Amino acid sequence: MNRLKSLILIITFLFFLSWSGVAIYSYLQLGHLKTVAGSDGVLPPDYSGKAILGAQVYTANGCMTCHTQQVRQLDVTHSDIDRKWGTRPSVALDYLRDRTAFLGNRRIGPDLSNVGSRLTDPVWYYQHLYEPDQITSGSIMPSYRYLFHMQKIQGEPSALAIALVGPHAPPPGYEVVPTKDAQDLVAYLLSLKHDYILPEVSAETPSAP
Amino acid sequence: MNHATTLSKIETISYLSEPLPLDSSRSLEIDRSMGVPILFLMRSSFFSFALGLFLVLICSIKLVFPSFLDGVSFLTYGRLFPVAYDLFIYGWAIPLGFALILWLMARLSAAPLSHVRIVTAAAHLWNSALFLGSLAVLAGYGTSVTFLEYPNWASFLLFVSFLLMGLWVLLLIKEREERPLYISEWYLLTALCSFPWIYGTANLMLTWGKIQGSAQGPIQCWYAGSLMQFWLIPVALGAIYYLIPKITGIKIYSYYLALFGFFSLLLFSGWNGLSALIGGPIPAWMMSAGVVTNMMLVLPMIAVVVNFYKMFQESEKLILHQSPALRFVAAGIISYVIATVLSLVSSFPCFNAILNFTDYLSGIFLLLFMGFFGMTLFGGLYYFIPRLTGISWSSSKLIRFHFWLSVVGISLMVSSMLLGGIIEGIALNDPVITFTNILSYAAPWNVLVSLSWFTLLLGFFCFMRLLVIMRWQMIEEKLPLSL
């Protein structure tokens, strides 16, 4: 039984080496970061209530299956910043406010860590979520029509109604309005702006190419 | 038919040789005692595998025709794709690996099982959690953490039922006869003990309780890497170390090499998951640790493959030709070698900058998952299902179909993902090329990937057909077990 015991001991030791080295150490080193004071408030900025609900819609629909939220460091690649997916590489502090960090591992669609700075018009988001291929020709994003509601126009058309042209556009007399989920999701996407300058990265901020 | 009988004769002869000779009445008793839980675990894993293949086929068609089944919440890509992969991992890889562990542990411990009802009950609990959890993810209650998508209650039930099954196996080992552990048992014990620990830690930090977002990235990657290194690879290697000596009758070539392979795998595993975050928002030392360990994983691969190769070399060529189990195992080993080398390439930061986030890495994952783990375990199934049920395979033609359809499917899928991934990566790295243009470069490869999922599904149907025939025979002969 002695050999069995020593074997189990070595296995346990090696296993805990990686377990403590990666899981526990990351938690200790990165799990207790503090916000920093920026020129216009606390950084990273907190999400609005709508944006927090929107992050839940993002979670429920698995957006991170196709979209990453990380701009890679410059010593590895310049392409993320050259694509205007961000002005600086992402750092751990950027995810401080995220309940779930949507780093992602696959780019079937573009990176979204700064989509709120890139595209600022909520209507664009609604149209794109409803009929992606009409807005961006060649897009393979699926339609999120189920986040919208088609209704008969009664009296004045709704202020929220969105203009659509594709095969799923509403027939005359009807209009398409975003549900609360869609509104929250767009609020969340619009709040994805990691372009503030943090003290720990300001030194690495790239000069214009 | 003739071919099949010679084949089963060969395997019956060899199965009485190394590594542990058992008289046949004893081994029959052992097999009978655990037939119920093992066959139950296998049945449900086959069901999940077929379902997973079907769902992932729909997903791959969606990438080619985005309007296919679109606009329906529970069929959207972001929900369907994780469910398909979770079915593969928690529905297929873990129960099937567990069935294999049960069988090998009982065989190697030379003890019949007692209180098997605990395992069967835990397996039922596992399946219910899996089924309800998958439905919940489709309904929008997923967590969006890779491989940990199930809602908290479902992942907690999975955790508890695995603990139940695992503790029961540990008790079995305690009761075993006094004897040094066989190398297969080392691997299987490692897998058995580390899975609940990894799964528990990852869930505790990412889903049940949520640590600060800034630390979640490394934990997510650590979990995905550990799942591969502490479950899929050890289970498959444990199976191979059992199957080759059993079928060929050749002893393990070098125990020192086996020792080295085992401990070096253990030393570098877990860390290597960090290589998925090269250039990501983590401290530099983590990245370096990920890169170095991912490269070092070539060492255990070489050690085990040299061992296997020497054993193949010494064995009679006739057995290699006629044993379906060995043919599947050989395909598995080849996949392991290729995948480890490809993964080594992708961990160089200069290549990783191009290949990260593309299909290249998905291709490596699938080569290890379907090619190494899948083919090896199918090999194991071809060996041990006839021994459990007492009925030999009815058609060597269907086995050959299963083998070749799987080989063609996996090679087509992996090669198109690798090539597509490289093209996609080079294009992504050139900011002049617009994103929608990159999609058009990837499009033809996506068609090939859909085609290869379909081929894999066809191959699996051949296997299912073999099982259905066996089930009929069992009903005719009124055997106590049901398949």
CATH code (residue B419): 1.20.210.10
In a domain, B424, yes or no: yes
- Report yes or no on B284 lying in a domain: no
Mean pLDDT score of chain B, rounded to an integer?
Answer: 90
- Res. B99 pLDDT band, cuts 50 70 90: very high
Q: Is pLDDT of B307 > 50?
A: yes
The β-bridge partners of A178 are A148
A58 shares a domain with A22: no
B9 pLDDT more than 80: no
- Contact (CB<8Å) B214/A30: yes
pLDDT of residue A197: 86
Verify whether the Cβ–Cβ distance B77 to A142 is below 8 Å.
yes
Considering the entire predicted model, what is its pTM? 0.93
**Are A63 and A26 in the same domain?**
no
Answer yes or no: is A209 within a domain.
no
pLDDT in tens, B396-436: 999 999 999 999 999 999 999 999 999 999 999 999 999 99
A130 shares a domain with A65: yes
Angle between helices B375-389 and B324-346 (to 10 degrees): 150
**Position A184 in a domain:** yes
B193 contacts in chain A (CB < 8 Å): 11-12, 15
Distance between A153 CA and the closest CA of chain B, angstroms = 22
Contacts of B349 in chain A (CB under 8 A): 75-76
What the block records as the tokens of A181 is: 């989920």
- A171-185, B281-295, B315-329: least confident range: B315-329
Report the pLDDT value the prediction gives residue B13, as an integer from 0 to 100.
32
Instruction: Specify if B481 maps to a domain.
Output: yes
Check pLDDT > 80 for residue A190: yes
d(CA B184, CA B168): 18
Q: Are residues A22 and A92 in the same domain?
A: no
Distance from CA of B473 to the nearest CA of A (A): 42
Q: How confident is the model at residue B320 (pLDDT cuts 50, 70, 90)?
A: confident
Task: Please tell me the distance from the alpha carbon of residue B82 to that of residue B181, in angstroms, as a whole number.
Answer: 38
Q: Are residues A22 and A71 in the same domain?
A: no
Q: What is the pLDDT of residue B11?
A: 39
A204, pLDDT greater than 60: no
Distance of CA B138 to the CA centre of its chain: 23
Q: What pLDDT, in 10s, does the model give residues B361-375? A: 999 999 999 999 999
In a domain, B10, yes or no: no
Q: What pLDDT band is residue A6 in, cutting at 50, 70 and 90? A: confident
Q: Residue with structure tokens 């084949």?
A: B7
> Alpha-carbon distance B191 to B165, whole Å?
13
Can you give the residue range of the structural domain that contains A181?
41-202
The helix (run of H) or strand (run of E) holding residue A42 is strand A41-43
Q: CA nearest B83 in A: which residue?
A: A62
Q: What's the pLDDT band for B26 if we cut at 50, 70, 90?
A: low
For residue B472, give its domain range.
316-483
How far is the first Cα of chain A from the last one, in angstroms, to the nearest whole number? 66
The answer to whether A103 and A111 have CB atoms below 8 angstroms apart is: no
| pLDDT averaged over every residue in chain A | 90
Name every chain A residue with its beta carbon within 8 A of the beta carbon of B201: 19, 23
What are the structure tokens assigned to B377, written together?
A: 């375990």
How far is CA A107 from each of CA A87, B295, B312, B356, B442, rounded to the nearest angstrom? 19, 24, 42, 9, 12
Cα gap B392→B331, rounded to integer Å: 22
The pLDDT tens digits of the residues spanning B208-246 come to 999 999 999 999 999 999 999 999 999 999 999 999 999
Same structural domain, A21 and A55: no
Instruction: Give B2's contacts (C-beta < 8 A, 6+ positions apart).
Output: none
**Residues A157 and A97 occupy one common structural domain:** yes
Regarding whether A5 and A53 lie in a shared domain, the answer is no
Residue A20, classed as helix, strand or coil, is helix
Please tell me the distance from the alpha carbon of residue B381 to that of residue B378, in angstroms, as a whole number: 5
The answer to whether residue B43 is domain-embedded is no
Please indicate, yes or no, if residue B291 is contained in any of the structural domains.
no
List residues bridging with A150 in a β-sheet.
A176
Residue B28 — very low, low, confident or very high, per pLDDT cuts 50/70/90?
Answer: low
Structure confidence at residue B4 (pLDDT): 41
Rounded to a whole number of angstroms, the distance from the CA of A89 to the nearest CA of chain B is 8
CA distance B233 to B223: 14
Q: Do A83 and A170 belong to one domain?
A: yes
Q: Can you tell me the distance from the alpha carbon of B135 to that of B262, in angstroms, rounded to the nearest whole number?
A: 38
Domain shared by A22 and A60, yes or no: no
* Residue with the two structure tokens 């992932």: B56
Closest chain B residue to the Cα of A110, Cα to Cα: B435
* Judgement on whether residues A16 and A115 belong to the same structural domain of the protein: no
Least CB–CB distance from B66: residue in A23, A90, A140: A140
When pLDDT is averaged across residues B43-57 and rounded to a whole number, the result is 96
Disruptive mutation site among B79, B144, B178, B428 for chain A (greatest number of A CBs within 10 Å): B144
Residues of A in contact with B289 (CB under 8 A): 21-22
In a domain, B39, yes or no: no
Same domain, A80 and A173: yes
CA–CA min distance B39, chain A (Å): 29
Q: Are strands A148-152 and A41-43 parallel, antiparallel or unpaired?
A: unpaired
Residue A151, strand partner residues: A175
In a domain, A60, yes or no: yes
Evaluate whether residue A112 is within a structural domain: yes
Look at residue A207 and tell me if it is in a domain.
no
Domain count, chain A: 2
Partners of residue B226 in chain A, C-beta under 8 Å: 18
The verdict on A70 touching B (C-beta cutoff 8 Å) is yes
**Average pLDDT of the segment spanning A191-199:** 88
State the total domains in chain B. Answer: 1
- Rounded to 5°, the CA angle A34-A38-A44 comes to 50
Nearest CB to B212; choose among A32, A103, A141: A32
Number of CB atoms found within 10 A of residue B170's CB: 12
Asked if A70's CB is within 8 angstroms of B436's CB, the reply is no
